[in-house]
Structure 1
Amino acid sequence: MSVETDLVTVVCVTYKSHALIEHLASVLAPFQHVVVVDNASGDGTVDAVRQHLPRATLVERAKNGGFGTGNNDAMRHVRTPYALLLNPDCSLDVPDLLTLLATLQRYPTAGVVAPQSWLADGSAQMCFRQAFYEPRLRSPYRVPDGTCSAKWLHGCCLLVRTEAYNAIGGFDERFFLYYEDDDLCLRLRQAGFDCLFEPAANAQHIGGASSTPSWKTSFRKHYHYARSRHLAIRKYLGVGAAWRYLLKTMVGGPPAAVLYGLLLQPKHALKWAAWSCSAWASAFAPSGRK
């Protein structure tokens, strides 16, 4: 076991991840420090963690608090200077972790670094970009040649400096799902920490493997995407921009859902129905106006 890995605690947040735990255990075998937070899976995930990861610190939540809340709970148990926030459907080999660690040590003002992750079909996943409110580049995603700074890093695999994470209070727990990694990176930068992308390190990301595909799951994901986007717009672009987003979605969502339904495109119909429901809920819920 590498001495450097003792500087890192691996943090995993699970939700209905039973099928992934055995493989996850093999990924985490080289690591001495592991914290798993389960978001009330109810599918045997906790039992599988106890069986395959007996040395891990296991935190069982009574209800699903979302990705950010789960990571914040886990980070309270971290005593090492670095923490690897790793999705249960993502894997990172020790040499790649050491590359990330060397990058953080080379740049002492950096608070977080992400590797290049690769999808199951062998394609490169977009792992860094500008802020969500800035214009997107029209050119296809390209893996850069060297380390670079970014305003957003993909949250599936992040090596964070524990001190920096704690300095900003971790994830904003209002983001249940989506945009929590946008917000984390932007707040780190506001606090004076850089966010780095390191293409010399590589991770494998199955993607979406922690939830069984269903119409209900898809609706919930689209719903939370729209809710989190509204929160992010309000937080970084102001109340006016947030209300414009809500009104556009409230007015345009229902007819778009009907139109796609008539065109026999149920996935698009479901998406627009979920977005419009989320917009109406955000407009009238007190939490949406905070």
Structure 2
Amino acid sequence: MTFGSKLSIIITTFNSSNVILNCLNKIDLNLYHVFVVDNNSSDNTVKIIEENFPNKITIIKNQKNLGYGRGNNCALRLVETEFAMILNPDAFIFNKDIELILETLDQNPEITICAPLLLKKYPFNAQDFEEEIEVMKQNLRSQENSYFSVKYVIGACLILRMSFFQEVGFYDEEIFLYYEDDEICHRVITNNKICAINTEAFAYHTGQGSSGKNYRNLYRRFWHRSWSKFHWKEKQKGLAKAYFSASKLVILYGLQTLFYIFIWKPEKIIAKIASIVGGVSYLLGLKAFDKNDNPRGNLKLF
């Protein structure tokens, strides 16, 4: 049985020109409706898609970088199919594995998010994944189904049941980057639904990222990792515990920054300072986006 008419695929890009072709080439574009949401890339990501897949992909061109959650939401609001896959541009999945996940969702209406097993490279070499395989075996022991329930799935590749999220909302739009998956999975579980991993389906996450590699991007990533961590903790544990954790982190990372200055590790220094500023920004009540909806975390100190 083919479930192609039931699925849309959403890929949010930002300077993803080095990975997007590998991702899209694995997808049967005649079978699934594919959305690419581009967050104002400064490279030729959009041009590559338009030249290689003319009139086959719906491209949403944002005028600014909206981040992971807001970017995905731009397409999720347009989805008309029963299910939607969220796929990172530096990940890929084969059609047979997509169909296995859709079969699990079709047969188990209580499952609201389902993901494949995520591997780090292709082709798969068992010797490279001894630790992961051992954990997998422990989790799968005595399993009668082709899936097991989890508290959290990695957002590089997952499929959402749209009826649930159309009712409760999509990704948290207060977050620019990081902890979106924790938040959305937590919402599933608190509504007595299931997040699951299909044990027969595989996806491959190369981990090359879509945000670029330089000090400015490093600073922004760690700023948002820190801010999002405490925003998520507040939603999960309450304001008092989030404030306590943020205050503790600021002190600890301040001491660690002095150490990294002493031994001169520039990347570590920038990461720690960004984490401190993100934590302080959270404590001061600043949001991840400014009043003009631009993401905070710009490197202005250097």
Task: Answer yes or no: same fold by TM over 0.5.
Answer: yes
Which runs of 5 or more residues in structure 2 are unaligned? Answer: 289-302
CA-to-aligned-CA distance 1:197-228 (integer Å, 9 cap, x gap) = 11210001111331322222222111111010
**Contact 2:37/2:61 (8 A) holds in 1:** yes
Cα distance change of structure 1 residues 26 and 104 upon mapping to structure 2, 3 Å threshold = same
Once structures 1 and 2 are overlaid, which stretch shifts more, 169-178 or 116-125? Answer: 116-125
Q: Which moved more, 1:204-213 or 1:273-282?
A: 204-213
Q: Distance in 1 between matches of 2:129 and 2:90?
A: 16
Q: Could you say what secondary structure the match of 1:287 adopts?
A: coil
My pick for the range that moved more, 205-214 or 173-182, is: 205-214
Amino acid at match of 1:10: I
Paired amino acid for 1:80 = T
Partner of residue 130, structure 1: none
Amino acid at match of 2:11: C
> 1:153-174: CA deviations, max 9, x gaps?
0000001111122122100111
Query: 8 Å contact 2:27–2:95 — kept in the other structure?
Result: no
C-alpha distance in structure 2 between counterparts of 1:276 and 1:208, whole Å: 26
Q: CA RMSD in A?
A: 2.2
TM-score (norm: length of structure 2): 0.85
Partner of 1:133: none
Measured in 1, the distance between the counterparts of 2:230 and 2:36 equals 30
Q: In the TM superposition, what is the alpha-carbon distance from 1:237 to its structure 2 partner? A: 0.5
What is the number of equivalent residue pairs in this alignment?
275
One-letter identity of the residue aligned with 1:205: H
Q: Offset of 1:27 from its aligned partner?
A: 1.6
Once the two structures are superposed, what CA deviation does each residue of 1:21-49 show, in whole Å capped at 9, x if it has no partner? 22223122343311111111121212222
- 1:22 maps to a residue whose letter is L
Name the CA shift for 1:126/1:201 in 2 (closer, same or farther; >3 Å).
farther
Cα deviation for residue 141 of structure 1 reads 4.3
Report if aligned partners of 1:117, 1:124 keep a CA contact under 8 Å in 2: no
In structure 2, the partner of 1:111 is 112
> Secondary structure of the residue that 2:267 maps to in structure 1?
helix
Q: Deviations over 1:259-279 (max 9, x none)?
A: 122123333322211111111
Measure the CA separation in 2 of the matches of 1:98 and 1:237. 37
**Aligned in 2, Cα 1:48/1:191: closer, same or farther, shift over 3 Å?**
same
SS at match of 2:60: strand
Using the alignment, how far apart are the partners of 1:35 and 1:76 within structure 2? Answer: 11
TM normalised by structure 1 equals 0.88
**Does residue 233 of the first structure (1) align with residue 230 of the second (2)?**
no
The residue aligned with 1:62 is: 63
Mapped to 1, the partners of 2:148 and 2:75 lie a distance apart of: 28
Partner of 2:287: helix, strand, or coil?
Answer: helix
CA distance in 2, matches of 1:124, 1:220: 31
Q: Which residue is equivalent to 1:136? A: none
Give the Cα–Cα distance (whole angstroms) in 1 for the partners of residues 24 and 208 of structure 2: 18
2:88 partner amino acid: N
* Residue in structure 2 matched with residue 132 of structure 1 by the alignment: none
* Number of the residue aligned with 2:292: none
> Any conservation in 2 of the 1:110–1:194 contact (CA below 8 Å)?
yes
In 2, distance between residues paired with 1:208 and 1:162? 29
Structure 2 CA distance for partners of 1:125 and 1:257, relative to 1, 3 Å: farther
> 1:184-263 alignment to 2 at 5 Å?
184-263=184-263
Shift in Å, 1:16: 0.6
Q: Which amino acid aligns with 2:13?
A: T
Question: Hey, what does 1:36 align to over in structure 2?
Answer: 36
Residue 247 of structure 1: SS of its match in structure 2?
helix
Structure 1 segments unaligned to the other structure (5+ residues)? 128-139
Instruction: Answer whether contact 1:40 1:63 (CA < 8 A) is retained.
Output: yes
Measure the CA separation in 1 of the matches of 2:240 and 2:190: 22
Query: Aligned in 2, Cα 1:23/1:208: closer, same or farther, shift over 3 Å?
Result: closer
SS at match of 2:178: coil
Q: How much has 1:124 moved relative to structure 2?
A: 5.2
